[in-house]
Amino acid sequence: MSSFFAMGGYAFYVWSSYGAALLILGGIAIFSMARARQASRRLEELKRAAPHRRRREEAADGA
């Protein structure tokens, strides 16, 4: 097991590569999901706040 983590002496290079990829891809994914959730929550709020517009919006969506 420890030889696996040692990566033949190249542990730093191999694990930094995988770590950097995880950090960047994970970061983009989490940030994008958070933004999507925030945007849809804000949209629901506004729809509730302006109910008279709601019907027209939905009619437009269905068209």
Partner 1 sequence: MHRFANPARFQRLASIILPWSDVLTAGLLVSGLYFALFASPADYQQGETVRIMYIHVPAAWMAMFTYSVMAAASAASLIWKHPLADVAARAAAPIGAGFTAIALITGMLWGEPMWGTWWVWDARLTSVLILFFLYLGYMALVNAIENPAAAARAGAILALVGFVNIPIIKFSVDWWNTLHQPASVIKMGGPSIAPSMLLPLVLMALGFHFYFVSVLLRRMRSELDLARVRALEDAIALNSEEAAA
* Residues that bind partner 1 in the complex, under the rule CB under 8 A: 4, 7-10, 13-14, 16-18, 20-21, 24-25, 27-29, 32-33, 35-36, 38-40, 42-43, 46-47, 49-50, 53, 57, 61-63
Nearer to partner 1, 2 or 8 (CB): 8
Closest distance of CB 44 from partner 1, Å: 9
Residue 63 DSSP symbol: -
Continuous H helices in 1-63: 2-6, 11-49, 51-62
d(C-alpha 59, C-alpha 55), whole Å: 6
